[in-house]
Structure 1
Amino acid sequence: MTPSLNASGPASEPAPLRPGRKLGPIASTVGSSHRAWLGPTREHYLLSGRTLADLSASVLAKSKLSELLRGVGHYPRWEVIHRLAEELNIPTWPLHRLWKQAAMDAGKSRDWVDRSTGGTLALTTQAGPPLEHGALRSIVEDGYRRYAGVFLTDDVLDAAVEESFAILWLSFDDALASPDIRRYAWNILSATVRAKADHRDQRPVLGDAAFDTVALLHAQTSLDDQVVQLAESLETFTAISKLPLTQLDVMVLRRLCGYTTEKVSDLLGIPLALVRSSQRHADRFLADTVEPPAPTGETTS
């Protein structure tokens, strides 16, 4: 029987002790798309009980494997990652998708990617994601896409959503063990979107889709009113981008995507009371920050 999507799973098992030097952290120079697959891969390794010396016999020399798992040195070829995935029982389809995107972001050519992949990946024979993963995706994907569209252009939007579900697949055991799988999945989506969005003063900038939403809502107003609304919207979007993350997500979903508080609660995996309190705090901040527009035909001194 498929468990409820918002049910808690079993507590995560502690990582087994292993001999030898502790694996160092991911290098600070590693980009977001590289981290997207490297983080879950490290988690699989740390929970496997295997050692670098053990894996070196079938994957890569111990020192090179340590560098790979810290994101140091040259970007790894897929055949090496594929061997590691087989040893650690990592699903290869989502791993390859994330590896390929990171390779392109690292400046690797499509020819390099194709030659590196070779015959190691038979996508047509890969098992699909867990049933719970597919069930969750069918429920939340439209909301994820609408949220991502507020920050990203269409070409980047598709990649962000697909990457989010691939990361979720790679770390699905952790998702099931989390207090709420919906919250776990949303955190992945939100972080992926923020990583791909344009930023100003280290805060994500709301994109053209946000203006399109406002324009649609006010399509029947006069041109002067639309100009006033656009100016107010620009100030409002800037203020929204400064909100704490939960308040920001709530306001984007409520104001710009038009979702009910109940739908926002389902997407974010947080209680209704937290959605309402987050909106109240955000509304108060916006009221104190955004200057109301002057009536049409009047100018401020």
Structure 2
Amino acid sequence: MTTPPGWYRDPSAPHTERWWDGTAWTEHRRTPGTQQQPQQLHQQYPQQQPYPQQYGVAPTVPVPAPSAGGSGRAKAVALTIAAAVLVAAIVTGAVVLGKDDGDPGAATAPTASVPAGAPSSASGSAEPSADPGLVVDELNGITLPLLDGWARPKNVSDTDVVMTTPGTYDCPGDDGLCRHGTVISRTVTANDERSTAALARDDISDAADLAYDRNRIDERPFGGITSHRLVEQGQVAVAGRTGYFVRWRVRTEAGPGGYVQSMAFPSSVGSESLVMVRYVFDAGAEGPPLADMDRITKGIRPVGDQDTGGGVGSDIGPSQ
């Protein structure tokens, strides 16, 4: 069985929690503590069996005790059932432990010692009621407001997508389906740059190319980019942290083009890795309101702390 992604006790540092991405440990760590459970995680990994059953530990089967006046045969039946349950548990555990196949990663995967903050799909704990107005990105420690006209991602191959406009349309360039708006949240891991301004300026070109020039499967859904211009850039407060954003207006060979924004800021959890949020909005009447970029940014909060301020224009410090 595969352990779902989530925060688990770090095998190399028992007093901290570490992010398990479903196949391997990442470098994201945090202090143990109860956090709001992610909505997207439970959508992608539906509720499973409680953890002990999932990993091969036989459930306890109650054996009715014979009454005081019971016969010796009843006592023998009860003892036989109890022995069968014990043997089944031993055999099941041996089979599961014997399936390591020499994989060095099997010994370091999350074990039955599940921390309080682990997802309920792994621990079997009750899931808090989900807020329909929020999208939770637990890895990066933020929640994003789900505005009117936006929806949780469906049938989207990019796992970093946190919300889209509902529905699709036929791309004006190469064959395929396009969306009028997309918001992406990901951890910056490709370089050691710590300046949010430098990261946002470097990312905007890649974000524009991927959205409107040539996609990951080498298609050109809009016929390619013909030109772009800088609309706005500067410091911005996101979830109480100082970040930086760059916004471009992109024109394409086919279709109305669009607006692309790259925004970098430090996460407020774990090792405080830098986070990049990308906005891709089609231009024209069919695209989402450009003001939604600022509204979503202003509504980003740390996970589990919806009262924290830090929207656009507040808590701005020196440029990083």
Query: Structure 2 length normalisation: TM-score?
Result: 0.27
The structure whose RCO (Cα within 8 Å, separation 6+) is larger is 1
Q: Larger % of helix: which?
A: 1
Query: Structure 1 length normalisation: TM-score?
Result: 0.29
Q: Larger % of strand: which?
A: 2
